[in-house]
């Protein structure tokens, strides 16, 4: 199996792309702060899942990269909160993205807690 088949990867990639499109509407003055930060953290979730899968031969490395992914997912949530409080996104949009963010967190944590199900020895 390829890492692109992992549900956590697919969903995190989709969320990162949704955030990318949404962040295009953020004010220009946020370009090097909120916009850049939310794009980086949301993309990093998928990137760390991909890295973890390639390191699954070593369970500790696998889990370590997944905890990085989980941390980036939490950071993305924080930037989403700022986006809502700054009124760049609606409460409805925030709630929708938050649900997706929570689901991704659950999937990552399932992987962390069950490394043997993902090819770790």
| pLDDT, tens digit (0-9, with 9 covering 90-100), for 29-39 | 999 899 999 99
Residue 119 confidence (pLDDT) above 90: no
3-114, which class in CATH? mainly alpha
The domain limits of the chain are 3-114
Q: Which parts of 58-90 fold into alpha helices (H)?
A: 59-85
Average the pLDDT over 73-102 and give the result: 98
Give residue for tokens 């997912």: 73
pTM of the model: 0.95
> Residue with structure tokens 């930037």?
79
């Amino acid at each position: 199996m390829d890492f692109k088949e992992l549900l956590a990867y697919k969903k995190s990639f989709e969320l990162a792309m949704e955030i990318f499109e949404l962040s295009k509407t953020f004010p220009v003055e946020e370009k090097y702060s909120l916009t850049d930060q939310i794009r980086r953290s949301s993309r990093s979730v998928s990137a760390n899942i991909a890295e973890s899968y390639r390191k699954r031969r070593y369970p500790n490395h696998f889990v370590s990269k997944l905890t990085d992914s989980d941390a980036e997912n939490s950071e993305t949530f924080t930037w989403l909160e700022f986006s809502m409080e700054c009124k760049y996104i609606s409460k409805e949009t925030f709630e929708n993205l938050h649900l997706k963010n929570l689901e991704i967190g659950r999937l990552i944590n399932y992987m962390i807690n069950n490394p043997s199900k993902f090819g770790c020895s």
